[in-house]
């Protein structure tokens, strides 16, 4: 009996790890789908109908003609031919197929582990929360796509940010749960104590930066200023004004959004530097190794962020920048986990 329970525990852990890898992969594909402007190539939700890609010329033309009806084609891609359309179609198709795989891959084992009654109830509650978020993410994904089908040539950057941040919440919960399962602990993430606050606040700052990054991506705001450290010829670009509060929160302003994204990055760097001094001064030896990982991934993220700008938004560097943001989140959560355990 004991051996059987251990096998189920291992299966549970492997299931969580594979799910995390799948979510990590879909974040990468989702980023590339946005960078290639492919997200509007499939104009219907097609929860079940779209499992198979077009298998003949007639079906391809149906999808292409539907795409021709939206503003993105009419105003941006009206010279696109069918072969060009197939490229953007397959990016969105791959994105949706991985989403379906994640949903099925998570649901079936979830039911098995629930009815086996061998898994810690605390872990199972977290898993049901993850499943709910996966379902909700699918709805948000279609809600996002709809925003670009009528009046816009791209999706709403606000809806894109919601879609992205939910993905980061899902993968963060998975990462935390995996750490708990490996160490056989039931540590709560939202543990608001005096000692934990500074580490939780760092994660909060990084999540805000991810939202700002989604705004930059959704607005293509990175194309406005591709210089560093200045934006054009000055630190604050001359096309930004702060005459009233509406100017400060105008997240439709491309230059302002890029300005905030840059400066929030500086804030995070300063915060991590101050946190590092605190950890070293207090001789919190158990945090030294997690801190090194955090600083390592922060350095990579800074380098890739600057390189993305200076490379004229090279798609591979921009994608690497998004990938490293996931690793930065992991390293920040890992530091916090070691503080709380």
pLDDT tens per residue, range 213-265: 999 999 998 888 999 999 988 999 888 888 888 888 899 999 999 999 999 99
Q: Quick one: 204 and 218 in the same domain?
A: yes
- What is the model's pLDDT at position 206? 97
User: CA torsion 18→21→27→33, rounded to 10°?
Assistant: -90
Residue ranges of E strands in 108-174: none
Domains identified in the chain, total number: 2
Q: Quick one: 203 and 182 in the same domain?
A: no
Q: Cα–Cα distance between 273 and 257 in angstroms, integer?
A: 24
Which letter does DSSP use for residue 177 in this model?
H
Give the percent of the chain with pLDDT over 70. 98
Q: Quick one: 40 and 129 in the same domain?
A: yes
| Partners of 234 in the β-ladder | 231
Q: Quick one: 180 and 211 in the same domain?
A: no
Q: Quick one: 268 and 137 in the same domain?
A: no
Q: Quick one: 2 and 133 in the same domain?
A: yes
- Among 155, 186, 217, the domain-final residue is 186
Preceding omega of 97 cis (within 30 degrees of 0): no
Q: Quick one: 242 and 116 in the same domain?
A: no
Q: Sorting pLDDT into bands at 50, 70 and 90, what band is 267? A: very high
First to last CA, the chain: 30
Q: Quick one: 224 and 200 in the same domain?
A: yes
- Using a 10 angstrom Cβ sphere, with 0-12 exposed, 13-18 middle and 19 or more buried, the burial of residue 70 is buried
Q: 241 is in which domain, residue-wise?
A: 187-341
Q: Cα–Cα distance between 19 and 105 in angstroms, integer?
A: 8
- Among 144, 170, 186, the domain-final residue is 186
Which letter does DSSP use for residue 53 in this model?
P
Q: Sorting pLDDT into bands at 50, 70 and 90, what band is 5? A: low
Instruction: Name every residue whose Cβ is closer than 8 Å to that of residue 270 and which is 6 or more positions away in sequence.
Output: none
Cβ pair 145, 30 in contact under 8 A: no
pLDDT at 144 over 60: yes
- What is the model's pLDDT at position 47? 76
Please state the pTM of the whole predicted model. Answer: 0.94
- Among 168, 186, 204, the domain-final residue is 186
Q: Quick one: 155 and 81 in the same domain?
A: yes
Phi and psi at residue 83, to the nearest 5°: -65, -40
Q: Quick one: 147 and 211 in the same domain?
A: no
Q: Quick one: 134 and 205 in the same domain?
A: no
pLDDT tens per residue, range 99-119: 999 999 999 999 999 998 888
Phi and psi at residue 189, to the nearest 5°: -70, -50
- What is the model's pLDDT at position 192? 82
pLDDT at 168 over 80: yes
Q: Quick one: 135 and 160 in the same domain?
A: yes
What is the b/e burial string over 201-235, where b = at least 16 CB atoms within 10 angstroms of the residue's CB?
Answer: ebbebbbebbbbbbbbbbbebbebbeeeeebeeee
Q: Which two tokens stand for residue 51?
A: 């499992």
Phi and psi at residue 281, to the nearest 5°: -65, -40
Q: Cα–Cα distance between 163 and 146 in angstroms, integer?
A: 13
């Amino acid at each position: 009996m004991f051996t059987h329970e251990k096998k189920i525990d291992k299966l549970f852990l492997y299931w969580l790890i594979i799910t995390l890898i799948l979510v990590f992969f879909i974040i990468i594909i989702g980023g590339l789908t946005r960078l290639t402007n492919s997200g509007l190539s499939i104009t219907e939700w097609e929860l079940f109908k779209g499992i198979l890609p077009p298998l003949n010329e007639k079906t391809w033309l149906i999808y292409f003609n539907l795409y021709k009806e939206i503003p993105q084609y009419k105003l941006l891609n009206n010279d696109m031919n069918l072969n060009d359309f197939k490229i953007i179609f397959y990016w969105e198709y791959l994105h949706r197929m991985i989403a379906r795989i994640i949903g099925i891959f998570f649901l079936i084992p979830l039911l098995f582990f629930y009815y086996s009654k061998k898994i810690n109830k605390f872990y199972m509650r977290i898993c049901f929360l993850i499943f709910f978020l996966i379902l909700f993410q699918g709805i948000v994904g279609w809600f996002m796509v709809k925003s670009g089908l009528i009046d816009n040539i791209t999706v709403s950057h606000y809806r894109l940010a919601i879609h992205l941040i939910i993905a980061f919440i899902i993968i963060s919960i998975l990462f935390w749960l995996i750490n708990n399962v490996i160490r056989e602990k039931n540590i709560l993430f939202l543990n608001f104590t005096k000692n934990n606050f500074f580490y939780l606040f760092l994660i909060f700052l990084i999540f805000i930066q991810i939202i700002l990054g989604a705004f930059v991506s959704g607005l293509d705001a990175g194309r406005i200023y591709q210089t560093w450290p200045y934006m054009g010829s000055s630190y604050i670009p001359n096309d930004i004004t702060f005459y009233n509060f509406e100017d400060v929160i105008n997240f439709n302003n491309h230059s302002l959004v890029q300005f905030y994204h840059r400066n929030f990055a500086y804030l995070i760097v300063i915060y991590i530097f101050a946190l590092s001094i605190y950890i070293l001064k207090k001789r919190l030896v158990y945090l030294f190794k997690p801190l090194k990982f955090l600083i390592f991934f922060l350095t990579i993220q800074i380098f890739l962020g600057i390189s993305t700008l200076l490379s004229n938004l090279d798609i591979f560097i921009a994608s690497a920048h998004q990938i490293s943001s996931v690793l930065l989140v992991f390293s920040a959560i890992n530091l916090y986990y070691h503080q709380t355990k």
